[in-house]
Structure 1
Amino acid sequence: MLVGLGCAVGASLCYGIGSVLQAVAAADADRAGHLDPRLLLRLLKAWPYLLGLALDGAGFVLSLVALRSLPLYVVQAVVASFLAVTAVVGAVFLGTRVRVLEGVALAAVVLGLALVSLSAAADSVRAPGTRVEWLVLAAAVALTLLAVPLGRLSGPRGAWALGGVAGLAFGVVAVAARALLSSAAAGDLVPPVHVWAGSPATYALLVAAPLALATYATALQRGSVVQATAPLVVGGDRAARARRSGPAG
C-alpha cells in the first residue's frame, strides 16, 4: 500500500508541473475561437507542451501502478492534490497570484486528501463487467458532443466549462484504464492485445484521451492555469466517485 501511495503522490507532482508547462505553451500559441483539434497540432511543436505531456504520461503510469494496490477513488483523491502543485508552481513561474484565502483552501484540500490516503486499505482488482465498459464508452461520446458548444464560450466561463469537461474526460480515461487493468491475468501488468481490442473500454480511452487534451488546452487559453485546472480536478474526482458507486457489472 505504501508503494501505491508513493506512486500516487509522484503522479500528483508530475501532473501539477505538467499543467504549468502546458499553460506556458498554450499562452504562446495562436488562440482558438472554438474547440479546434488543430490547436493540439500547434502545441505539439512547442517543447514546454511536449515536456508537460511527458510528465502527464509519467503520472499516468504511476497512477496505474498505484491502482494495483489502492482503490480508484483513493488514487484519484491523492492525484487531485496536483491542483495545489499547479497553484504553487504557477505562482513561481507564471506570476499567478494566489490569494491568502485561496492558499488556506488549497492547504485544507491537501490535508483532507492526506487523511483520505491514510485511511486507505489494500484493494483487489476486480473486472467491472461489459455493461460498465459500454457505459464508459457512452460517457466519452457524450462528453465529445457536449464539448463542441462549450468550446465557443470565452473568458473565465470557457476556462471553467472546458476544464470541467476535460476533468470528466480524464476521469473516463482513469475508469477505462482501471477496467482494462482488471482484465489482466494474475502476474501480468497489462492484459494481452486481444483483450484490449475486444474491450469497449479501449475505445473509450481512444475517444476520451484526445478530448481531454484538447479541451484542457483550450481552457488554458480562456483563463488562468488555476481557473482551468480547478474544474478539471473536480470533474475527474466526480467521475471516479461515480465509478465507485456504479454497478459492478
Structure 2
Amino acid sequence: MLCAVGAAVCFGFATVLQAAGARAAEPGTGSGVDARLLGRAVRQGRFIAGLVVDALGFGLEIVALRTLPIYVVGAALAASLAVTAVAASRVLRVRLTGTEWGAVAAVCGGLAMLGLTSGGEGHHPGSTAVRVGALGTAVAVLAIGAVAGRLPDRTRSAALGLGAGFGFGVVEVAVRLVRDFSPRALLANPATYALLIGGGAAFLLLTSALQRGSVTAATAGMVIGETVGPAAVGIAALGDRTRVGLTPLAVAGFTLAVLGALALARFGEGGPPTADG
C-alpha cells in the first residue's frame, strides 16, 4: 500500500512537470495522436524531469500490483490528483474551495478503507483470451486517438483522456499477466506487447490532451478509464478479492476515492484552472 501511495505522489508531481513541458512545446497539427508533439515535448527540461519522476512512480506501481488487487492500486493512482491539488495550493498558491478540500479528504478516506479491506492479489494467471483482449484494447487506444482528432475541442479532450485512461488500465492488467520473464516467454506473451503499446499510446494521448483543450475533461476521462475497467478485470478474471465480509466497505472506499479524484479533475494540469477547465 505504501508503494501504491508512493506511485500516486510521483504521478501527481510528474503531471505538473509534464503539463508545463507539453504546453511550452510548439503546437502541432491538432490530430488526436501526434507523435511529433511528443518529440517536441521531450526537448523541454520540465517534461524530461516529469518522465524521470514518472519512471520512479511506475516502478512503485509494479511492486504494488504484485502484492495488491488491481482495484486498490487503480484507486490509489487516481489519488495522484489529490497530491497535485495540495501541491498546487502550497507551491503555486492556488486556492482550493471547501468542496475541493472535502474531495481531498474523501480520497484519503477512500484509500484508508481500501487498505483495511483489500485481500492479497489474485493468483489466477489469466487466460489466453484475457491476454489477447488486453492486446486488442491497447491497439484500440490508438484508434481512439485517431478518432478523437476529428472531434470538437471539449469532446476531443474527454475522448483523449478516456483513451489514455484505457491505455494506463491496460498497463495495470498486463503487469499482472506477465509472470515469466524469460526472453522466450516474454516474446510469446501477448500481454508483453499490450503493456508496451498500451503504455506508449496512453502517454501519447495524455500529452496531446494536456496541451489541447480542457484539462479538466481529459483528466476526468482518464480517471474513469484507468480505474473502473481494470478493477473489473482483476475481480472477474484474475481472482482479486476483498477480506471476508468486507466487500461493501471496499466498494464504498473505491467509489469514494474515485469520486473525490473526479472532483479534483481541474488539477490535472498542475496549476490554476484554465478558462475552459
* TM class, shorter-length: 0.7 to 0.9
Q: Choose from 187, 190, 197 the match for 2:187.
A: 197
> Which 5+ residue runs of structure 2 have no aligned equivalent?
240-277
Q: Is the 8 A contact 1:20 1:89 kept in 2?
A: no
The offset of 1:93, in angstroms, is 5.0
Aligned to 1:29: 25
Q: Structure 1 pair 215/49, CA: closer, same or farther in 2 (3 Å)?
A: same
Whether contact under 8 Å (1:155, 1:223) holds in the other structure is: yes
Q: CA separation of 1:30/1:159 partners in 2, compared to 1, >3 Å: closer, same or farther?
A: same
Between the aligned partners of 2:101 and 2:213, the Cα distance in structure 1 is: 19
Q: Once superposed, which parts of structure 1, at least 4 consecutive aligned residues long, lie more than 6 Å away?
A: none
Match of 1:14 in 2: 10
Task: Assess if the C-alpha contact under 8 Å between 2:65 and 2:172 holds in 1.
Answer: no
What 5-or-longer segments of structure 1 have no aligned partner? 185-190
Q: Which has the higher contact order (CA 8 A, sep 6+)?
A: 2
Cα gap change, 1:205 to 1:123, in 2 (>3 Å): closer
Structure 1 stretch displaced more, 92-101 or 191-200: 92-101
1:215 and 2:211 equivalent? no
Structure 2 counterpart of 1:218, which letter?
S
The AA in structure 2 aligned to 1:34 is S
Report the RMSD for the aligned CA atoms in angstroms: 2.2
- TM-score, normalised via structure 1 length: 0.86
Tell me the SS of whatever aligns to 2:59.
Answer: helix
Please give the alpha-carbon distance, in whole angstroms, between the structure 2 residues aligned to 1:92 and 1:29: 26
Q: How many residues align?
A: 237
1:155–1:96 distance in 2 versus 1, CA, 3 Å: farther
Name the aligned partner's letter for residue 183 of structure 2: V
Give deviations 1:107-130, integer Å, cap 9, x for gaps.
212311221122122335431121
Which whole-Å CA distance do the structure 2 matches of 1:91 and 1:26 have between them?
Answer: 21
**TM-score of the superposed pair, with normalisation by structure 2:** 0.78
Q: Kindly tell me: are residues 248 and 68 of structure 1, through their superposed partners in 2, closer, same or farther at Cα, counting changes over 3 Å?
A: closer
Q: Deviations over 1:27-52 (max 9, x none)?
A: 11122311211111111111111111
Q: Give the whole-Å Cα distance in 1 for the aligned partners of 2:77 and 2:111.
A: 9
Distance 1:69 1:142 in 2: 28
Aligned AA for 1:234?
Answer: I
Residue in structure 2 matched with residue 188 of structure 1 by the alignment: none
